[in-house]
Amino acid sequence: MTIEIGFALVSAAVLAGLTFLGVAGPPYLLGFPAGWFRAMYVLGGVLAVVVFVVRVVYVLWRYQGAPGTEPNGPGRTDR
């Protein structure tokens, strides 16, 4: 499961970074008033954290394990 954890963290970091840039970048490009810069930084940071956590949980929740590693037990069938 180490690969899956690494994939979850890296993909979440990339998506969080893109989210932050997507929210915090437009004030520079569009010339927003000075008060908007801080608000957009805070909003971008909050959304980036939310995207990071959701992505990590989503990737790790979907992980079913490698084929053939599931234990046989009640409700399980042999493969």
Q: Domain map of the chain by residue range?
A: 2-62
* Residue range 11-68, pLDDT digits in tens: 999 999 999 999 999 988 888 888 888 999 999 999 999 999 999 999 998 887 666 6
pTM: 0.77
Separation between Cα atoms, residue 54 and residue 13, nearest integer Å: 11
C-alpha dist (Å) from residue 13 to 24, 56, 64, 68: 16, 9, 22, 31
Q: Is 67 left (phi over 0), alpha (psi -120 to 50) or beta?
A: beta
The answer to whether 53 and 9 have CB atoms below 8 angstroms apart is: no
Q: Is the predicted pLDDT of residue 78 greater than 60, yes or no?
A: no
